[in-house]
Amino acid sequence: MASTSLHRVDFLQWDEYFIGVSILTAQRSKDPKTQVGCVIVDTRYRVVGAGYNGMPWGCPDTDMPWGKDEKDPLQDKNTFVCHAEMNAVMNKNCVDLEGCRLYTTLFPCNECAKIVVQSRMAEVIYVSDRDSWKMDASKRLFDQVGITYRQFIPKRNSITIDFTKHT
């Protein structure tokens, strides 16, 4: 029998939606080279935290270093910047994150992986990965505790946010 339902069929799938929110969140970052965004989602598909990489609260972006300096750590952004994952956890609006999924634009580094593990999250879904010992360490930790991770494989190239058109 033919269906009489007329609902839209090109609606965003959950993964597309949460990765989309991660990418949008990354656009808040002031890092001139790499903008990272992530959202934490509970088992009922509710966003319970979001964050992007940025300087700690109260530290003016204009006063902080945004480049790298191997010789002087006080002039290196990595000495100060808070990673997106840490910020998402710090921003959580629920008591604990056990069983949650982390959607992120960049696979978590080893420091963020420790936070993901200690928060008892269940899965990491990421857009891109880096060939780095830090990411290898993260995978080792995730494998050890059974946190699954998978790359987001897009089925469409883009989604549009048009501020001038909305019904």
109 binds ligand LAUPNLSC (CB under 6 A): yes
Cβ atoms 108, 137 nearer than 8 A: no
**CB pairs under 8 A, 24+ apart, for 12-16?**
12/159, 13/155, 14/45, 15/103, 15/125, 15/152, 16/154, 16/155, 16/156, 16/159
# residues near Zn ion by CB under 5 A: 4
- 85 catalytic? Reply is yes
81 binds ligand LAUPNLSC (CB under 6 A): yes
Within 1-40, the residues that bind ligand LAUPNLSC by CB under 6 A are 31, 33-34, 36
Select 100 or 124, whichever has its Cβ closest to Zn ion: 124
Q: Which of 53, 102, 125, 147 binds ligand LAUPNLSC (CB under 6 A)?
A: 53
Q: Where are the alpha helices (DSSP H) in the chain?
A: 14-26, 84-90, 110-118, 133-145
Beta bridge mates, 40: 49, 102
Q: What's the closest the beta carbon of residue 146 comes to Zn ion, in angstroms?
A: 21
Site string for ligand LAUPNLSC, 111-140 (x = CB under 6 A): -x----------------------------
